[in-house]
């Protein structure tokens, strides 16, 4: 008996699948992480996944209306074997994945998925356990249409078929059925049903053998008649309950074996059971009646509770697709984690992939646990913790690989997809550049394609040698990503961006600025060989001249004879007296993990949340990601009214250190303060000092003497440290300022690039009536360090300008310009930029009426193109089905999933009575176009014309119809 899909009135419900709910939870989790850590690119990924989640739900309702589904019950289920239902499906629109699930009163359930393609009917077997004989009662049955990725399903209940009769299982190796002779043997005596002599004709009944049909009579009259034959009664076999032994189920099993044997031999038989008699007869109908009597025989066997049917293993193709996607998602870790960690992670994934193609032994649980433990210990030793950014992502990738190695069920496979998406989002903690964005798109596409592979029917996904993801899956995923892009862009621009984190949890990672908390010999010379970008500065208006490009960082005031370190001196912030025009600029700072904002002297306006210390050092919350700040700096006199305690502290020197330098500086104490500075600079100019990256090692004691009177070769920290020592010995407060000097103006973008090799140290000397005055002793030894750049200063110390970049340098600048624009518009898009944008377009602040109105309108506008495209794609390809689709749109009356044309048109006529006549024309034209012989084109034109005449509101051609 066929069970059709009910119409829409039966209650189809659109709901997310369990995987869809977990997918939504992942979106919420990544959104919280983006808000807390300011991951701008993470917002884009989160909103893209949100757009996919929305777009997958849109077309299911319309697509299911063109679905034809039929469920055929099993013919003769046997106890102990699955009752095999047959599911047939065909789609009138695009391809659909259909899932049907049945549940019996014993608690067993069975489900199957199949692909319903347009014009290509498909069928699959649905096995429901039949554990005992007797009626098999179904308690629930439903069908669902899944989206291509498996996030949503449109589910509706199926009408429950009548209880199925499960026959007793036939005994294996049963003896021959007994022969029982009855009285009246021979000709002229009592006869019985048999195959020997013709006895007459009777009307055909289902189950009669085709060999017994009188085909000559059927050809002459058109009526099927069955020939009846008989035989002497003594040739019949009689099956009796008394001929069996054992418990009732064993006796019924033997009788069932005898019935099957006699049916296959086409021999007549009768059956006697306690309380039941089956008369003599033969044929398929007689055998079915005997088996039914055996199935209903009391006492009933005790029902055996069952468990939900599940997959014992996973298909190779979906798992291979998932493992490939996980490898793509983990690929950036190769550049960051130790080599052994990468080898272990990708080795486990490769082994799991190999097991899907050949029978390799499964990794035991103890081995997986051992690998997890050893990996955690090794990574903790390498990074110092597993809770930081680097250690956390490395151990996450390893644990995901171990999970993949023990994956056994489709549920585990979908969990791997979610973990892969989460791993992709963690890469934004390290970098948010264009290449990282491209990798994230590739990773998301492969992971969604893997998810689509899990949605495929079992018979397709389990095909040997199948590819990890078919072309149709990739096309569906790419289409979803394209349709979700407008939604992602709208949310990226307008979704509220908070200025601060939800909670304070800094990301632990290595500092990337190169500036340390103290200065020792060789600190800056090591940085000079690192050409990574430290920050970029985009000026509004003129760029400051080279002599003003001192980017102030940490200030070092405590000296122990070997190292200079920072101190915190209590007291108010000293005065800042501007002396000239300022510079307004945006500073895009690379991840550094330190609180320093590298500002030009002296910052007079700081970004929200930043402070200016009493050492004139701009500081903000440490960030593990690239951040963008807006600052205003102005030439000024700093600390004219400085704290006396600080000035006293900045005169201190370690006792007994460098006596020759002390004596030299003491000889200048009779000079005016400014003259003492000039005397020290003159000593450097005339002393034969050289500028180099490879100075000799200085001793632990009397280091300044060894430099000033011995090696006379050094880098910026040597000159700044020695000059500061001389100024303190001469009676002037002095300190070292660390930061960067210079910067390369990029003509492709009009901004300045400051690299790690531009790290620099200089001296500040406090002079009465002038405050803290910057003095750079290195510039008196190598003027090119100020006028040009580091490389020029090392080769031509007296140069006045840097050489023009070559072709490779120009290409590097163009690529950096692209990176800078990306930083400005994507990475640096935060709450401040959002408020500026909203203010420029006149929407007001976030939460205002104008903002909410425009936000809603733009979001609907972003959804509309995707919905229209999906609607157009769901329109049936078959002309006749497309005409009915257009009719449903005209009437605004959806056609139910699998609803027949006649049933739909009758329902439409009941709701739109004035269109009864035209709907009759539609029905006639449709049947002619679909089933009439010959060219269907004229009938299709008639069908389309009749559809165009239909009006829902009663006006037009239908209103006056009298039919």
* Reported pTM: 0.77
Task: Say whether both 549 and 638 belong to one domain.
Answer: yes
- Quickly tell me which residue has 């996030």 as its tokens: 151
Both tokens assigned to 722: 């020695």
* Alpha carbon of residue 230 to chain centroid: 73
Task: Give the C-alpha separation, 165 to 135, whole Å.
Answer: 4
Task: Kindly state the DSSP code that residue 255 receives in the 8-state scheme.
Answer: H
Task: Say whether both 613 and 750 belong to one domain.
Answer: yes
DSSP per residue, 503-542: S--PPP----S---SEE-TTHHHHHTT---EEEEEEEESP
Task: Say whether both 94 and 207 belong to one domain.
Answer: no
Q: Measured between alpha carbons, how far apart are the two ends of the chain, in Å?
A: 37
Torsion of CA 331, 334, 340, 341, to 10 degrees: -60
Number of neighbouring beta carbons within 10 Å of residue 819:
19
Task: Give the C-alpha separation, 557 to 728, whole Å.
Answer: 11
Are 142 and 155 within 8 A, CB to CB? yes
Under 8 Å CB-to-CB from 833, ≥6 apart: which residues?
628
* Omega cis (within 30) before 299: yes
Q: 140 lies in which domain range?
A: 3-161
Under 8 Å CB-to-CB from 41, ≥6 apart: which residues?
428, 432, 436, 437, 440, 826, 827
Are 506 and 387 within 8 A, CB to CB? no
pLDDT tens, residue by residue, 760-777: 999 999 999 999 999 999
Dihedral angle sign, alpha carbons of residues 505, 508, 509, 513: positive
Task: Give the C-alpha separation, 553 to 753, whole Å.
Answer: 17
Task: Say whether both 535 and 643 belong to one domain.
Answer: yes
Task: Give the C-alpha separation, 766 to 769, whole Å.
Answer: 9
Under 8 Å CB-to-CB from 297, ≥6 apart: which residues?
248, 252, 273, 274, 276
Task: Give the C-alpha separation, 908 to 916, whole Å.
Answer: 8
Task: Say whether both 773 and 648 belong to one domain.
Answer: yes
Task: Say whether both 284 and 341 belong to one domain.
Answer: no
Given this model, what pLDDT does residue 228 score? 67
Task: Give the C-alpha separation, 332 to 785, whole Å.
Answer: 37
Both tokens assigned to 559: 């000296």
Residues in the chain: 963
Task: Say whether both 200 and 153 belong to one domain.
Answer: no
Given this model, what pLDDT does residue 896 score? 67
Does 240 qualify as catalytic in the annotation?
no
Phi first, then psi: give them for residue 630, nearest 5 degrees. -110, 125
Task: Give the C-alpha separation, 675 to 669, whole Å.
Answer: 9
Given this model, what pLDDT does residue 315 score? 63
Domain final residue pick, 113, 146, 161: 161
Helices and strands counted in the chain (H then E): 30, 36
For the chain, residues with pLDDT lower than 70 are: 1-11, 62-63, 65-66, 92-94, 118-120, 180-200, 205-209, 218-219, 222, 228-236, 303-315, 458-471, 503-514, 521-526, 623-625, 870-877, 896-898, 952-963
* Omega cis (within 30) before 555: no
Antiparallel, parallel or unpaired: β 759-767 and 734-741: antiparallel
Are 753 and 746 within 8 A, CB to CB? yes
Task: Give the C-alpha separation, 843 to 836, whole Å.
Answer: 10
Are 132 and 165 within 8 A, CB to CB? no
Strands of 362-516, DSSP E:
none
Task: Answer yes or no: is 414 within a domain.
Answer: yes
* Alpha carbon of residue 634 to chain centroid: 47
Task: Answer yes or no: is 420 within a domain.
Answer: yes
Task: Say whether both 633 and 758 belong to one domain.
Answer: yes
Task: Give the C-alpha separation, 30 to 727, whole Å.
Answer: 54
Specify the 3-state DSSP secondary structure of 604.
strand
- H-only helix segments in 637-739: 644-649, 659-666, 673-686, 703-706, 716-729
Task: Say whether both 241 and 106 belong to one domain.
Answer: no
Given this model, what pLDDT does residue 184 score? 37
**Which is catalytic among the residues 260, 286, 760, 885?**
760
Does 776 qualify as catalytic in the annotation?
yes
Task: Say whether both 266 and 410 belong to one domain.
Answer: no
- Furthest-apart CA atoms within the chain: distance in Å: 157
Given this model, what pLDDT does residue 677 score? 96
Torsion of CA 368, 371, 377, 379, to 10 degrees: -110
Task: Answer yes or no: is 121 within a domain.
Answer: yes
Task: Say whether both 438 and 332 belong to one domain.
Answer: yes
Given this model, what pLDDT does residue 751 score? 92
In a 13 Å sphere around the CA of 445, the CA atoms on its Cβ side amount to 16
Between the CA of residue 908 and those of 913, 922, 963, what are the distances in Å? 8, 12, 16
* Alpha carbon of residue 250 to chain centroid: 56
pLDDT tens, residue by residue, 894-936: 776 667 788 888 888 888 888 888 888 888 888 888 788 888 8
In degrees, rounded to 5, the angle at the alpha carbon of residue 783 between the alpha carbons of residues 781 and 785 is 100
Number of neighbouring beta carbons within 10 Å of residue 539:
16
Task: Answer yes or no: is 684 within a domain.
Answer: yes
Phi first, then psi: give them for residue 247, nearest 5 degrees. -70, 165
Both tokens assigned to 425: 């989002």
Does 885 qualify as catalytic in the annotation?
no
Task: Give the C-alpha separation, 810 to 253, whole Å.
Answer: 89
* Omega cis (within 30) before 602: yes
- H-only helix segments in 269-409: 284-295, 316-330, 339-355, 365-383, 389-405
Task: Answer yes or no: is 579 within a domain.
Answer: yes
Both tokens assigned to 28: 């919420």
Are 521 and 718 within 8 A, CB to CB? yes
Task: Say whether both 258 and 320 belong to one domain.
Answer: no
Task: Give the C-alpha separation, 618 to 615, whole Å.
Answer: 9
Task: Give the C-alpha separation, 847 to 834, whole Å.
Answer: 13
Under 8 Å CB-to-CB from 311, ≥6 apart: which residues?
409, 410, 458
Task: Answer yes or no: is 301 within a domain.
Answer: no
**Which is catalytic among the residues 108, 776, 789, 958?**
776
Given this model, what pLDDT does residue 730 score? 96
Task: Kindly state the DSSP code that residue 760 receives in the 8-state scheme.
Answer: E
Domain final residue pick, 161, 176, 211: 161
Antiparallel, parallel or unpaired: β 550-556 and 583-589: unpaired
> How many domains is the chain partitioned into structurally?
5
Task: Answer yes or no: is 958 within a domain.
Answer: no
Domain final residue pick, 236, 260, 295: 295
Task: Answer yes or no: is 827 within a domain.
Answer: no
Dihedral angle sign, alpha carbons of residues 43, 44, 48, 54: positive
Task: Kindly state the DSSP code that residue 466 receives in the 8-state scheme.
Answer: -
**Which is catalytic among the residues 716, 718, 758, 885?**
716
Task: Give the C-alpha separation, 291 to 600, whole Å.
Answer: 97
Task: Give the C-alpha separation, 802 to 792, whole Å.
Answer: 6
What CATH number is attached to the domain comprising 33? Answer: 2.60.40
């Amino acid at each position: 008996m066929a069970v059709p899909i009910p119409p829409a009135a039966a209650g189809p419900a659109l709901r997310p699948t369990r995987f869809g709910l977990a997918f939504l939870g992942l979106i919420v989790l990544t959104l919280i992480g983006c808000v807390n850590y300011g991951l701008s690119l993470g917002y884009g990924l989160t909103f893209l996944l949100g757009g996919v989640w929305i777009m997958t739900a849109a077309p299911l309702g319309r697509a299911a209306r063109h679905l034809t589904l039929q469920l055929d019950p099993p013919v003769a289920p046997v106890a102990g074997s699955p009752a095999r239902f047959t599911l047939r499906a065909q789609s009138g629109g695009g391809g659909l994945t259909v899932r049907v699930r049945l549940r019996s009163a014993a608690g067993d359930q069975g489900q199957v998925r199949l692909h319903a393609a347009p014009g290509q009917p498909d069928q699959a077997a649905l096995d429901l356990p039949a554990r005992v004989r007797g009626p098999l009662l179904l308690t629930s049955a439903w069908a669902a249409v899944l989206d291509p990725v498996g996030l949503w399903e449109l589910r509706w209940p199926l009408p429950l078929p009548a209880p199925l009769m499960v026959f007793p299982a036939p005994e294996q190796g049963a003896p021959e059925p007994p022969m029982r002779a009855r009285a009246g043997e021979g000709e002229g005596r009592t006869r019985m049903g048999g195959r020997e002599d013709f006895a007459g004709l009777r009307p055909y009944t289902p189950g009669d053998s085709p060999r017994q049909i009188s085909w000559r009579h059927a050809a002459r009259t058109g009526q099927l008649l069955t020939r009846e034959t008989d035989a002497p009664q003594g040739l019949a076999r009689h099956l009796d309950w008394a001929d069996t032994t054992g418990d009732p189920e064993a006796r019924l099993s033997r009788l069932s074996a005898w019935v099957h044997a006699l049916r296959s031999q086409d021999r007549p038989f009768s059956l006697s059971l306690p309380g039941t008699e089956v008369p003599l007869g033969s044929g398929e109908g007689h055998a079915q009646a005997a088996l039914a009597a055996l199935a209903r025989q009391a006492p009933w066997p005790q029902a055996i509770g069952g468990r939900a049917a599940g997959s014992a293993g996973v298909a190779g193709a979906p798992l291979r697709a998932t493992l490939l996607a996980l490898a793509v998602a983990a690929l950036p870790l190769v550049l960051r984690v130790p080599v052994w960690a990468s080898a272990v992670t990708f080795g486990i994934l490769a082994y799991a992939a190999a097991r899907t193609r050949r029978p390799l032994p499964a990794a035991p649980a103890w081995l997986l646990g051992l690998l997890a433990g050893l990996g955690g210990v090794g990574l903790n030793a390498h990074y110092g913790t597993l809770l930081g950014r680097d250690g956390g992502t490395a151990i996450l990738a390893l644990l995901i690989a171990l999970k993949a190695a023990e994956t056994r069920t489709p549920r585990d496979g979908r969990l791997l997809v979610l973990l892969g998406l989460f791993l992709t989002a963690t890469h934004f903690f390290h970098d948010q550049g264009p290449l990282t964005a491209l990798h994230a798109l590739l990773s998301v596409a492969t992971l969604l394609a893997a998810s689509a592979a899990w949605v495929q029917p079992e018979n397709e996904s389990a095909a040997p040698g199948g590819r990890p993801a078919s072309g149709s899956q990739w096309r569906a995923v790419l289409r979803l990503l394209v349709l979700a892009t407008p939604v992602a862009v709208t949310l990226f621009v307008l979704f509220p961006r908070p200025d601060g984190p939800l909670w304070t949890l800094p990301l632990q990672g290595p500092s990337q600025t190169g500036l340390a908390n103290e200065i020792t010999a060789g600190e800056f010379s090591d940085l000079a060989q690192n050409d990574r970008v430290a920050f970029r500065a985009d000026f509004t208006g003129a760029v400051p001249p080279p002599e003003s490009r001192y980017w102030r960082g940490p200030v070092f005031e405590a000296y122990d004879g070997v190292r200079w370190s920072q101190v915190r001196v209590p007291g108010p912030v000293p005065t800042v007296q501007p002396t000239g025009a300022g510079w307004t600029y945006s500073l895009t700072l690379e991840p550094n993990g330190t609180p320093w904002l590298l500002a030009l002297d002296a910052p007079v306006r700081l970004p929200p949340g930043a402070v200016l210390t009493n050492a004139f050092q701009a500081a903000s919350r440490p960030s593990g990601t690239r951040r963008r700040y807006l600052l205003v700096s102005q030439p000024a006199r700093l600390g004219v009214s400085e704290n006396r305690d600080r000035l006293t502290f900045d005169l201190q020197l370690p006792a007994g250190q460098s006596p020759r330098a002390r004596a030299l500086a003491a000889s200048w104490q009779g000079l005016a303060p400014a003259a003492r500075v000039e005397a020290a600079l003159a000593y450097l100019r005339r002393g034969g000092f050289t500028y180099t990256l490879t100075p000799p090692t200085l001793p632990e004691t009397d280091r300044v003497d060894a430099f000033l009177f011995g090696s006379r070769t050094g880098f910026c920290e040597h000159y700044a440290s020695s000059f500061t020592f001389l100024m303190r010995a001469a009676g002037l407060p002095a300190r070292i300022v660390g930061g960067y000097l210079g910067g390369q103006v990029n003509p492709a973008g009009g901004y300045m690039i400051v690299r790690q090799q531009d790290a620099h140290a200089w001296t500040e000397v406090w002079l009465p009536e002038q405050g803290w005055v910057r003095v750079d002793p290195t510039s008196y030894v190598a003027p090119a360090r100020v006028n040009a750049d580091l490389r020029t200063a090392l080769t031509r110390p007296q140069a006045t300008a840097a050489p023009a970049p070559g072709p490779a340098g120009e290409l590097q600048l163009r690529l950096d310009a692209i990176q800078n624009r990306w930083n400005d518009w994507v990475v640096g898009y935060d709450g401040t930029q959002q408020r500026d944008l909203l203010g420029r377009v006149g929407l007001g602040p976030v939460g205002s009426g104008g903002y909410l109105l425009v936000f809603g309108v733009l979001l609907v506008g972003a959804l509309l193109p995707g919905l229209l495209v999906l609607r157009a794609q769901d329109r049936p390809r078959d002309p006749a089905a497309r005409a009915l689709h257009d009719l449903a749109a005209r009437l605004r009356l959806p056609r139910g999933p699998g609803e027949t044309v006649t049933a739909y048109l009758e329902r439409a006529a009941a709701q739109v009575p004035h269109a009864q006549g035209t709907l009759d024309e539609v029905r006639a034209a449709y049947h002619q176009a679909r089933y009439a012989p010959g060219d269907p084109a004229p009938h299709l034109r008639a069908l389309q014309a009749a559809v165009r005449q239909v009006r829902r509101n009663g006006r037009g051609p239908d209103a006056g119809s009298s039919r």
